[in-house]
A = this chain, B = another copy of it.
Amino acid sequence: MKDVAARAGVGLKTVSRVVNEEPGVTPDTAARVQAAIDALGFRRNDSARLLRTRRTASVGLVLEDLADPFYAALSRAVEDVARSHGALLFTGSSAEDPRREQELVLAFCARRVDGLVVVPAGEDHRYLLPEIAAGVATVFVDRPAGRLDADVVLTDNAGGTREGVAHLIAHGHRRIGFIGDQPGIHTAGERLRGYREAMAAAGLAVRPEWYAMGPTTPERVEAALDAMLNGTEPVTALFAGNNRVTVTAVRVLAARPDPVALVGFDDFELADVLDPAITVVAQDAPGIGRVAAQQLFRRLDGIAAEEATRTELPVRLIERGSGEIPPAR
């Protein structure tokens, strides 16, 4: 601004008036200042303002994979809430690697983000204690933090899976398979629990070859499903533990002559136009992102309760056809 003032031959106050569109400057002077600004390429720098407020008006979002539709929808919702509070968003994908999660979180903190929204990959988040003590608001989403008492926004994973598996049982199935994500992942464990509880509630035993937990790569899901369908007591229905599993299951089942019932956790695009259309337990990805971001800004504004909160969002069973197929004779 000093350079602009010198070039235009005016005082600093005049430059400030022009930049902030305040009155008291003649059109001629304003034009001279504007020409100096254009010539010098005046650039806004938020550092000073942000130093004064001790805020950086930025939020760090760490999730598993930005390219996964579930997290993409969640991210957009966090962005929209951040934007309504005038904050910018850092994003990063942990790729389910605890070391990479910590690296990203601490890198965001080193840039002095005001707050964090984290889909945790690791099991111990005590590394965040100094950051939280220093005032970084932190909300976990999709899975709770490990060994740390912090706000968390979850889906009712066990309850949703119970409902989906009970739906298959109500349609006559007794041999039901479950394919889930890696057992260390909170949501995967909770959904497996829901599966076991629904089977137990109906008095059905679960054979070890009927459930498989692991990476959700197409190869792994295909192999697990093949084993369930071709064993001595083949399953007549499958509960798919997330949208990655469902998509591969749809491909595998489409190539088989005999129909197998399918209910998937997570809704996905075009589930309704497949043949059969896919019955799902839908969770609210934008809702989870929105509720988490809103809680973050309540903390930042000092209007949240001191205790950590736990919010569990309900799911919705959407019947479309694949979950209502009766068992093959």
Contact = CB atoms under 8 A, between A and B. Distances in A.
A35 to B, nearest CB: 14
A226 interface: no
Given A67-B72, A73-B67, A250-B270, A88 B93 contact: no
A75 B61 CA distance: 14
A247 to B, nearest CB: 6
A283 to B, nearest CB: 15
Contacts of A275: 274-275
Interface string A85-111: 000111111000000000010111111
A254 B276 CA distance: 13
Interface string A58-82: 1000000111110011011001000
Contacts of A56: 111
Contacts of A92: 79, 83, 88-89
B66 A72 contact: yes
B66 A75 contact: yes
Bin chain A's interface residue count: 35 or more
A23 interface: no
A134 interface: yes
A201 interface: no
20 contacts: A41-B130, A43-B109, A44-B110, A56-B111, A58-B90, A65-B76, A67-B72, A67-B75, A67-B286, A72-B72, A75-B91, A79-B91, A79-B92, A88-B108, A89-B90, A89-B92, A90-B90, A90-B91, A250-B273, A270-B274
